[in-house]
Structure 1
Amino acid sequence: MLVVLTVFTDKKMIVLILYAAVFFLALSFCHSRLRDFILDVQYVRSRLKTRTLVQKYQQTKYFLMDRLLEVVKTQPNKPFVLFKDETYSYKDADELSNKAARVFLQSGLVEGDTVALFLRSEPMFLWLWMGLMKIGCSAALLNYNIRSKSLMHCFNCSGAKTLVAAEDLQDAVDEVLPTLLEQQVTVFILADKSKSADIKSFNDQMSKASSEPLAKNLGSNITLSNAAAYIYTSGTTGLPKAAAISHSKLWNFAFLLNSAGVTSEDVLYISLPLYHTAGFLGFAGTINRGGTLALRNKFSVSQFWDDCRKYNVTVVQYIGETMRYLCNTPKKLNDRNHKVRMAIGNGLRPDVWRDFLSRFGDVKIREFYGATEGNFGLLNTFDKIGAVGRDTYLFRKYFPNAVIKFDVEKEMPVRDSSGFCVKAAKGEPGLFITEINKNAQFTGYLGNLMQTEKKRLHDVFRKGDLYFNSGDLLRIDEDGFIYFQDRVGDTFRWKGENVATTEVADIISQVDCIKEANVYGVQVPGQEGRAGMAAIILRDGKSFDSEAVFKQVESFLPGYARPRFMRIQSSLDVTGTYKHMKGKLVEEGFNPDKITDPLYFLDGKQKNYIPLTVDIFNKVTSGKIQI
């Protein structure tokens, strides 16, 4: 009898435990959903508050420089910029930008003019831009890596008649100086003395200028619709294009830090170029929050954490591969010895995201998505690894956007029999588009109507509607989280399937011998679409482990996505913001007669990547070897 009772009791206990487990799982699920819903509402409220404030600022003509002057008045001695061993207070910044503004006025600049800034990330960059804002002028932010034809193209399309360049970029200026002088451009060099009679010393004139407040009527005719700056696209698909950043849009940039949770007590570390949107918005956001900015003139993987400790940094900015570079450094005992609580940026791969958190501690990652010229942005405030935001009814209601089906081969949206675009299914990569309306305007590229029009999609879901074409492929999962997939043009089609280059690169880069991979598609005679190819660089001291690479792609990639060719390089060409350059690689293809880098071919029979010889190349291109 006791045995039977014990068995009965045990069975009853098991049932109770199962019920309890189900209950707690359901409770946990509901709690997770409730948390996400609350965060959804908070984020939409934050975005709506930003919209309301910007509309108010448009009516009252309240500029970011007005906010700066308020901070100068309330906390003049608070550190604003930390650079090397120097500290500049808000009062210092105000006075130095006043001096810069007077040099521009003395040179003949008038309200509405544009000045091209050609210098690295340093405090002077900030004083020059602030000085221009104070007199109603705008700045064209030139990439300090460009030279010759590209430099002149970027300068000319901005409409600038003045160029200010860093002393260490004098050689680049000298190369185009005859053309600049022919166009009657005023050229300044940031040096105490100029080596040329045709170039003026900005430092000399600035040292003599007054730091007293400027006349209040300067720039009085400028509105928030006018350009505060011109920021250039990376130029991965041709010459860079200039996107006008209005004063209204600048406010939206600045408020991103608010939405991410940055406060006035934070010290923000920027090691990204200030000529790029990410670095520039960090600067704008710091002014808006009245915080402190720790600035480095160039990203240094070896000095990153030392700088964070030196300046007591609490928030860092990242872009592209910078976080991966940090994770690739040798581990140290003091990896978690820092005060960084948040990282804001974009382009962080899920595997690197996990590695970063595991190694460097509990840092809130705020991954965002947006285009410099775009009218819309996304922000992941949910701590969802890999996501750039979340798709909800509430968000779409106030900020209309969609992911639509896209024909990768034709590089155009798929339309139904009525001529309207078709929304992509959950989990299906598609073109991300955002409605262009009075609350989300798109001004396009300066002086480039054709490229501007390519970014506009007409009659998307109904006659007369207008959407911004992001040029990016995103996907939405079953829970509504949004993920960046690839850039249009990077994704290619092979064996009737779409291959996302970023996804393939992520898989390949997990092999121990590979440090970095750039994936693209190459044409093979007689074959539809493009076959996958990867340009890779190896880790220091490692050789190409062909069998391990084959095993990795076979295990984790479907047949159509496996790169047929590998190219080993000593370095990969990237833009100033670490985007891989693919155009030249695609053009060069996989011909061993024309490429000196080691080439490999995926041999399914040998289950290995074997050296790509001229004989194999000829057999592939003639169709004797089927791939």
Structure 2
Amino acid sequence: MALLLLLLLFLLLLLLLALRSVPFLWDDLLAFGTMVRSSVRCRRRLSRRPPVTLLDVFRQHARRRPRRPLLLFQDRVYTFEDVEKRSNRAAWALSRRLGLQSGRTVAVFLPNEPAYLWTWLALAKLGCPMACLNCNVRGRALRHALEAARATLVLASPELREAVEEVLPDLERDGVQVFYLSWESPTPGVEALLPAIEAAPEEPPPARHRAGVTGDSRAMYIYTSGTTGLPKAAVVTELKLMMVASLARICGVRPDDVVYTTLPLYHSAGLLVGLGGCLDVGATCVLRSKFSASHFWADCRRYNVTVIQYVGELMRYLCNTPPRPDDGQHGVRMALGNGMRAEVWKEFLRRFGPVAIWEFYGATEGNAGFINYTGKVGAVGRANRFLKLFAPFELIRYNVEQDEPVRDQRGLCIPVRPGETGLLVIKITSNTPFHGYAGDSQKTEKKILRDVLAKGDAFFNSGDLLMRDQQDFIYFQDRVGDTFRWKGENVATTEVEATLGLVDFIQEVNVYGVAVPGCEGRCGMAAVCLKDGATFDGDKLYAFTRDTLPAYAAPRFVRIQWVSPCANGGHLVPMGVTWCQKWVTSCQWGSPGVNGGHLVSVEVTLC
């Protein structure tokens, strides 16, 4: 026995020496242990009979600490008990008044407001998947989003009345019911549902509604724009819902924390990581309808916020506000988010104090991601050799011009070396499944890359270029394909092109993202070729994009191109930026063809 103890002590000493000699090995081991425990906890909960879902975890908190504040919104405080009772009433109203049955998909078309939370929980109590509609979608994109998730019921806010009324005739024709979550309805033919909800019982609905729910059941659909154009409904299962919500716990969010989110709830960061993380941990969420740089820190002080959520653009806005004497006077200890550039990261810490930054990387439909658990400035995570055993990934060579991976003589992809940029692909396994998109198997298949490292294997194609340095830190570089990111949203260029193609004076159009100094992501540029004899009309194009496209997707710049017999033998000739959205006050208009077809120089103020 003594010899065995000595041997164990010797092995422990060797391990400690190895940890001291290999940089970040101890951090990798701790992160590995934390993430494995979290994964085991989620899978164990859902393997029980009946399974314990995120809804059940919330209800446990509501029973144990009913008076604990769950949601703070403006001047209102909603405790766990309040939200439990409100969601019960909503579930009863949806079941009795609308005859809602388990398994029926319900689309939620709401801004950031408390009703989003108890509507989500009410639908979960009825076993109904929720389709989280982007509040910015309109017209054809809105109808497509409903069709993709096969939603036959829409719960909307009167704030989005114009968008609802635009598609209402088509929805009525297709048998899709629409209700407002309000006391009164401003739209003929659309009923207000709040009176029925307030009159419903506070007791929980029967458990039979969720009798068939398992870890593989579809909990919700979250939309993302991609290379195929119109919004894609990413499938979020009960297991994935719980795994993403556990990210807050992994990063160190505690039950006594107050989490501040201004991110839209129709995206996974705000809904699943922020609000879902509070449901998982039992923390308090402060919800704001929209981000305001001027009110951000005042809100943090007012609500005693300890954790903030961010995207890179949000942090840049905060750093660009005029300095104040009380910039460092707050109780925020942690920031959780993604997309923050290194220079913004450094400026944020310099100005606002020693806040722990937990940057992460992931896609709503993705099957794995990264967490920067060391605080390395600018990195999105680490190539943790231990986690890679459970979630195999690779960075492979990618031909950006041909928009395809580079393959060797065997037809396999080629991993890049440290310091080189490569396409991130994540192996599809039982531990890291890819559930794809609802409504179109072709879109799902396009995100699967086969024969990557061996014949017959399958990897999720992230569509993102990343770089791994010599110390195994991972850095985001750029997006590939027909998608760029602006104002925290993914913009599908093919969708914008199809919309602009409807303008009567446009013959051809190509949309792409361009870098704007001082801004995160890329801004929309539309290169257009005019029809013969047509004249460019900037006011008309602006009005059209305002009415048909989300604000983040509308091109801010236009480059006019045309075939001129007097220029370069008839080849396309770039005229330069000749129009931009009206938030540029000094924008000047240019004519695409005067003086016999010669170029005309036009100057504008670049945004």
* TM-score above 0.5: yes
Residues 245-284 of structure 1 correspond to what in structure 2 (within 5 A)? 245-281=236-272, 282-284=274-276
- Report deviation, 1:193: 1.9
Contact 1:83 1:296 in 2 (8 A): yes
Which residue is 1:324 aligned to?
Answer: 316
CA contact 1:116–1:163 (8 Å) conserved in 2: yes
Q: How does 1:415-434 map to 2 (within 5 A)?
A: 415-434=407-426
Letter in 1 for 2:269: A
Q: 1:172 aligns with which of 153, 156, 163?
A: 163
Deviations 1:288-333 (A, max 9, x none): 1001000001111111111111110000101141110111111111
CA RMSD of aligned residues (A): 3.3
Residue 193 in structure 1 maps to residue 184 in structure 2 = yes
Q: State the distance in 1 between where 2:19 and 2:352 align.
A: 28
In 2, are the aligned partners of 1:368 and 1:379 still within 8 Å (CA)?
yes
- Paired residue for 1:97? 87
**SS in structure 2 at match of 1:232:** strand
CA distance 1:313–1:35, change in 2 (3 Å): farther
CA contact (8 A) 2:575 2:600 kept: no
Which of 454, 457, 460 lines up with 1:462 in the alignment? 454
Partner of 1:543: none
Deviations 1:62-81 (A, max 9, x none): 11111011101110000000
| 2:95 counterpart of 1:112 | no
Partner SS, residue 213 of structure 1: coil
Write the distance in 2 (CA, Å) between the matches of 1:64 and 1:620: 61
The separation in 1 between residues aligned to 2:405 and 2:557, in whole angstroms, is 26
The equivalent of 2:198 in structure 1 is 207
CA distance in 2, matches of 1:587, 1:99: 56
Q: Which of 379, 382, 395 is 2:371 aligned to? A: 379
The size of the alignment, in residue pairs, is 519
Q: How far is 1:613 from its partner?
A: 11
Match of 2:8 in 1: none
**3-state SS, counterpart of residue 419 of structure 1:** coil
**What SS does structure 1 have at the residue aligned with 2:438?**
coil
Match of 1:68 among 58, 61, 68: 58
Q: For 2:43, give the aligned amino acid.
A: Q
Q: 1:592 Cα shift?
A: 3.5
Are residues 578 and 62 of structure 1, via their aligned partners in 2, closer, same or farther at CA, if it must alter by over 3 Å?
Answer: farther
The 8 Å contact of residues 374 and 468 in structure 1, kept in 2 or not, is answered as: yes
Q: Distance in 2 between matches of 1:295 and 1:454?
A: 36
What TM-score do the two structures reach when normalised by structure 2?
A: 0.79
Instruction: Say whether 1:149 aligns with 2:140.
Output: yes
Matched, 1:349 2:341: yes
CA distance in 2, matches of 1:313, 1:128: 25
**Structure 1 residues 582 and 248: alpha-carbon distance in aligned structure 2, compared to 1, 3 A threshold:** farther
Partner of 1:14: none
The whole-number CA distance in structure 2 between the counterparts of 1:457 and 1:241 is 18
Q: CA deviation at 1:483?
A: 0.3
CA gap of 1:193–1:524, structure 2 versus 1, over 3 A, is closer
Please state whether the residue corresponding to 1:103 is helix, strand or coil: helix
2:6 corresponding residue in structure 1? none
Equivalent in the alignment of 2:233: 242
Q: Does 1:295 align with 2:278?
A: no
Which sections of structure 2, spanning at least 5 residues, go unmatched?
Answer: 1-16, 485-511, 530-541, 562-571, 582-589, 602-607
Structure 1 match to 2:67: 77
Displacement of 1:30 after TM fit?
9.7
CA distance in 2: counterparts of 1:224 and 1:472, whole angstroms: 28
Q: Please give the alpha-carbon distance, in whole angstroms, between the structure 2 residues aligned to 1:418 and 1:312.
A: 59
Is contact 2:228-2:443 (8 Å) kept?
A: no
Counterpart of 1:205 in structure 2: which amino acid?
A
| Greater shift in the superposed pair: 308-317 or 226-235 | 226-235
**2:88 is aligned with 1:88:** no
Shift, 1:197, TM fit: 5.0
Give distance in 2, aligned partners of 1:350 and 1:32.
27
Question: Who is 2:494 aligned against?
Answer: none
Judge conservation of contact 1:319–1:577 (CA < 8 Å) in 2: no
Verify the 8 A CA contact 2:371 2:380 in the aligned structure 1: yes
* Cα shift readout 1:379-427 (whole Å, capped 9, x = no counterpart): 0011101101111322222220110001111111111101111101111
Query: Could you tell me whether the CA contact under 8 Å between 1:237 and 1:583 is conserved in 2?
Result: no
The CA deviation at 1:346 is: 0.7
Which one of 119, 133, 146 corresponds to residue 128 of structure 1? 119
1:55 paired residue among 32, 36, 43: 43
Cα offsets for 1:236-257 (capped at 9, x unmatched): 8621111011110001111111
Q: Tell me the distance in 2 between the aligned counterparts of 1:257 and 1:456.
A: 28
Write out aligned runs for 1:532-571 (5 A). Answer: none
Q: Which residue of 1 is the match for residue 387 of structure 2? A: 395
What do residues 184-203 of structure 1 show as CA deviations (whole Å, max 9, x unaligned)?
22211122122445211111
1:581/1:400 Cα in 2 relative to 1: closer, same or farther (>3 Å)? Answer: farther
Q: Deviations over 1:245-274 (max 9, x none)?
A: 111000111111111111111100010000
Q: CA deviation at 1:587?
A: 8.4
Distance 1:463 1:31 in 2: 37
Give how far 1:147 is off: 1.3
Distance 1:519 1:117, change over 3 A: closer
Give yes or no for contact 1:234–1:577 (8 Å, CA) kept in 2.
Answer: no
Residue 183 (structure 1) aligned with residue 171 (structure 2): no
**What aligned pairs does 1:354-373 form with structure 2 within 5 A after superposition?**
354-373=346-365
The one-character-per-residue Cα deviations of 1:194-243 (angstroms, maximum 9, x if unpaired) are: 24452111111111111112222221112121111100004686211110
Percentage identity across paired residues of the two chains: 41
Greater shift in the superposed pair: 387-396 or 247-256: 387-396
Work out the CA distance in 1 between the residues paired with 2:468 and 2:100.
49
What secondary structure, in the 3-state scheme, does the structure 1 residue paired with 2:376 have?
coil
Larger Rg: 1
Distance of aligned partners of 1:524 and 1:424 in 2 relative to their CA distance in 1, 3 Å threshold? farther
Q: 1:585 to 1:445 in 2, by over 3 A?
A: farther
